[in-house]
Amino acid sequence: MESLRYSLQLLSLIFLLFSIWASAAQRVIPRLGVRRRTSKHEVPQTTSSFSSDIKIYYYTQTIDHFNFRPDSYATFQQKYAINSKYWGGADSNAPIFAYLGAEGPLDDDLGSIGFLSDNAARFKALQLYIEHRYYGNSVPFGTMKEALKNESTRGYFNSAQALADYAAVIIDVKKTFSAENSPVIAFGASYGGMLAAWFRLKYPHVVLGSLASSAPILYFDDIVPQDGYYSVVTKDFKETSQSCYETIRQSWAEIDRVASIPNGLSTLSKIFNTCRPLNNSSDLKNYLEYIVTGAAQYNYDAPRYLMSDMCRAIDGAANGTDTLGRIYGGVVAYKQNHSCYDVNEFSAPSETNDGWGWQSCSDMVMPIGHDTNGSMFPPSPFNLTENNDYCKKLYGIEPRPHWVTTYYGGQDIKLILRRFASNIIFANGLKDPYSSGGVVEDISDSLVAVTTAEGSHCLDIIVANSSADPHWLVRQRNKEIKIIKQWIAKYQADLLQLKQRIPV
Q: Using CB under 8 A, which residues numbered 358 to 377 contact its own copies?
A: 362-363
CA distances from 470 to 225, 239, 312, 425 (A): 32, 19, 20, 21
Amino acid at 259: A
384 binds its own copies (CB under 8 A): no
**232, 200 Cβ separation under 8 angstroms:** no
DSSP secondary structure string, 420-450?
Answer: S---EEEEEETTSGGGGGS--S--SSSEEEE
CA angle 178, 182, 185 (to 5 degrees): 130
91 binds its own copies (CB under 8 A): no
53 binds its own copies (CB under 8 A): no
| Residue of 1, 52, 55, 68 interacting with its own copies (CB under 8 A) | 68
Measured torsion, CA atoms of residues 288, 373, 20, 217, in degrees rounded to the nearest 10: 90
Stretch that binds its own copies, among 69-77, 103-111, 187-195, 314-322 (CB under 8 A): 69-77
Closer CB to its own copies, 15 or 166, in the complex: 166
Closer CB to its own copies, 69 or 482, in the complex: 69
Closest separation in Å from C-beta 132 to its own copies: 16
279 binds its own copies (CB under 8 A): no
Closer CB to its own copies, 173 or 268, in the complex: 173
Q: How far apart are CA 159 and CA 403, in angstroms?
A: 11
Stretch that binds its own copies, among 67-75, 140-148, 279-287, 456-464 (CB under 8 A): 67-75
Closest separation in Å from C-beta 467 to its own copies: 39
**197, 186 Cβ separation under 8 angstroms:** no
User: Sign of dihedral through CA atoms 292, 294, 297, 299?
Assistant: negative
Stretch that binds its own copies, among 31-39, 136-144, 149-157, 184-192 (CB under 8 A): 149-157
495 binds its own copies (CB under 8 A): yes
**343, 335 Cβ separation under 8 angstroms:** no
Q: How far apart are CA 77 and CA 63, in angstroms?
A: 10
140 binds its own copies (CB under 8 A): no
Closest separation in Å from C-beta 142 to its own copies: 17
| Residue of 4, 20, 60, 73 interacting with its own copies (CB under 8 A) | 73
| Burial class of 473 by CB neighbour count within 10 A (0 to 12, 13 to 18, 19+) | buried
DSSP secondary structure string, 308-364?
Answer: HHHHHHHHTSPTT--HHHHHHHHHHHHH---SSB-TTGGGS--HHHHHHHHHTTTT-
Closest separation in Å from C-beta 438 to its own copies: 17
67 binds its own copies (CB under 8 A): yes
**461, 114 Cβ separation under 8 angstroms:** yes
Question: Which residues are annotated as catalytic?
Answer: 190, 432, 457
Q: How far apart are CA 140 and CA 422, in angstroms?
A: 34
Q: Using CB under 8 A, which residues numbered 471 to 490 contact its own copies?
A: 490
DSSP secondary structure string, 97-137?
Answer: EEEE--SS-HHHHHHHB-HHHHHHHHHTPEEEEEPPTTSTT
Q: Using CB under 8 A, which residues numbered 210 to 239 contact its own copies?
A: none
The values of phi and psi at residue 175, to 5°, are -65, -45
90 binds its own copies (CB under 8 A): no
| Residue of 146, 151, 239, 322 interacting with its own copies (CB under 8 A) | 151
| Residue of 58, 279, 420, 486 interacting with its own copies (CB under 8 A) | 420
Strand 300-301 with 126-130, pairing: unpaired
- Hey, is 387 helix, strand or coil? helix
Closest separation in Å from C-beta 110 to its own copies: 26
End-to-end Cα distance, the chain: 59
Closest separation in Å from C-beta 436 to its own copies: 17
| Residue of 49, 60, 72, 373 interacting with its own copies (CB under 8 A) | 72
251 binds its own copies (CB under 8 A): no
Instruction: Give the chain's count of helices (H) and strands (E).
Output: 18, 10
175 binds its own copies (CB under 8 A): no
Cα 288 to the center of its chain, rounded Å: 20
Closer CB to its own copies, 273 or 411, in the complex: 411
Q: DSSP code of 460?
A: G
| Residue of 23, 49, 66, 146 interacting with its own copies (CB under 8 A) | 66
Stretch that binds its own copies, among 5-13, 109-117, 148-156, 337-345 (CB under 8 A): 148-156
411 binds its own copies (CB under 8 A): yes
438 binds its own copies (CB under 8 A): no
95 binds its own copies (CB under 8 A): no
167 binds its own copies (CB under 8 A): yes
Closest separation in Å from C-beta 65 to its own copies: 7
Closest separation in Å from C-beta 353 to its own copies: 18
75 binds its own copies (CB under 8 A): no
CA distances from 477 to 193, 333, 474, 492 (A): 15, 29, 5, 23
Could you list the residues that contact its own copies (CB under 8 A)?
A: 62, 64-73, 151-152, 154-158, 160-161, 164, 167-168, 171, 201-206, 362-363, 396-398, 400, 403, 405-423, 446, 490-491, 494-495, 498
